[in-house]
Structure 1
Amino acid sequence: MFALRWIFIVGFNCYVFCYENLSRRPTTVLTQSSTYHAQTASLANDGDVQTDEQHCVHTANNHTKAWLQVDFGEVHSIHNVKIYHRREGNSSGDWKQFRFRQFYLDVSNVSILQTTTSQRNRCYNDKTKYPDLPPNIIDIPCEQTTRYVIVETTYDAPEDDPTTGAILEICEIEVYGCVATCRNNVCDGFGNCYNGCVDGYWGPACELQCPANCEELTCYRTTGNCISCKSGYWEKRCSSRCPIHCFERVCDKTNGSCTRGCASGLYGDMCNRPCSLGCVGGTCDKQSATCANGCVQNWAGSQCDECDSNHYGSSCSLECNHDCENSTCNGTTGLCTLGCKRGFYGYKCDRQCTCCPSGCDRLTGRCNGDCLVGKFGIFCDKACNQGCKVYIRDVH
Structure 2
Amino acid sequence: MTWLLLILLTMCYNSLCDDQCFHKPCACCRTSNCNMNSTCENGCIDGYWGDSCFYTCPVNCINCEQNSPSVCDKCHDGYYNGFWHDGNSYGPWTDNCINKCNPQCKSCYYYQHCKECADGYYKTKSVENCTLPCPQRCISCISESDCTECKPGYFGINCSQICSKGCDTVECDKKTGSCNCTSNYMGETCRYCKHEKFGTNCDLECPENCLVCNQSDSCLYCKPGYEGAMCNQPNDQTTKRQSTHAPEYNKDNKTLSIAIGSMFGILAVVTIVFALLFWWRRRQRRLKKQQKIIKRMERNTFKASSSSNAPFEMSQGYLSNTLNEN
TM-score range, shorter chain: 0.3 to 0.5
Calculate the TM-score normalised by the size of structure 2: 0.35
Calculate the TM-score normalised by the size of structure 1: 0.30
The higher relative CO (CA closer than 8 Å, separation ≥ 6) is in 1
Of Structure 1 and Structure 2, the greater helix share is in 2
| Structure with larger Rg | 2
